[in-house]
Structure 1
């Protein structure tokens, strides 16, 4: 019985629908913005990019979510560093949780669609202390923030 439940849960994660991520997302802040764009998923691949401007400093991240034999893998490559894999551990039509417990920070990446908003959160530990960062994106680009 447990094996059947585990197989059903694994199938659901392997076949998770990640279309809720698609589009242009932005969070405007008093000192800048965070902008994230997702293309796909198409044929087992979604590609994303993040551009953050905070206090006059620009940062970027290349993102990829790829379906593999054992399920979806989120590949994060901040500032052009080698990509780090995070396996999909939970997901449905409106949310996805990716984890890599050996990574430290972040160890988990969570996305959740809430109507016209996309909530994103990363959490893990730094020097043995828990840390969490979160964003509440709305549809649109940084141009909608009035900042360029």
Structure 2
């Protein structure tokens, strides 16, 4: 039983280490102009292509002609090689969310010390860009499904 427990702990540690190992490149699949419409509500998100270890993003959300929220974001490879997501809603000082997981067409960041969100995840489903924010345990999720801006 003890060896089984040690094996499980070793496997979990190895899996965690793999999840934290940053990707060789930033998520170029995120680059582009994205939009979502649900009735009168709308959301836009824009990401530059990776260059010099940085992707710059911007987002805005509203209803009809009313802007409800805007945000400046970036995904940055830091000097130590780690990757973090930085968010500045309405221009407040940036909050940092270190990389916690990545895969083919998926990247996730988390900061359990932040009030909300604590977890930020982007992934692709075909031509769609999906985004989800939540608390660290996955509760209180908000999700977006973006199509390419001006797409069919």
Q: CA RMSD in A?
A: 2.7
Q: Which runs of 5+ in 2 are unaligned?
A: 1-9
Equivalents in 2 of 1:91, 1:62: separation in Å? Answer: 22
Equivalents in 2 of 1:89, 1:8: separation in Å? Answer: 10
Equivalents in 2 of 1:27, 1:16: separation in Å? Answer: 27
Higher strand share: 1
Among residues 2, 5, 9, which one is paired with 2:18 in the alignment?
A: 9
Equivalents in 1 of 2:17, 2:110: separation in Å? Answer: 20
Q: 2:42 aligns to what? A: 33
Are the structure 2 counterparts of residues 99 and 24 from structure 1 closer, same or farther at C-alpha, using a change threshold of 3 Å? same
Are the structure 2 counterparts of residues 137 and 13 from structure 1 closer, same or farther at C-alpha, using a change threshold of 3 Å? same
Q: Which runs of 5+ in 1 are unaligned?
A: none
List, as ranges, runs of 4+ consecutive aligned residues in structure 1 with deviation greater than 2 Å.
4-8, 10-17, 54-57
Work out whether residues 48 and 62 of structure 1, in 8 Å CA contact, stay in contact via their aligned partners in 2: yes
Are the structure 2 counterparts of residues 18 and 95 from structure 1 closer, same or farther at C-alpha, using a change threshold of 3 Å? same
Q: 2:123 aligns to what? A: 112
Among residues 115, 119, 124, which one is paired with 2:135 in the alignment?
A: 124
* TM-score normalised by the chain length of structure 2: 0.80
Q: 2:77 aligns to what? A: 67
* TM-score normalised by the chain length of structure 1: 0.82
Among residues 50, 54, 57, which one is paired with 2:63 in the alignment?
A: 54
1:55 offset after TM fit, Å? 5.0
Deviation string for 1:122-145 (max 9, x for gaps)?
A: 0017xxxx311000001115xx7x
State how many pairs are aligned. Answer: 139
Deviation string for 1:99-148 (max 9, x for gaps)?
A: 001113100000001110000000017xxxx311000001115xx7xxxx
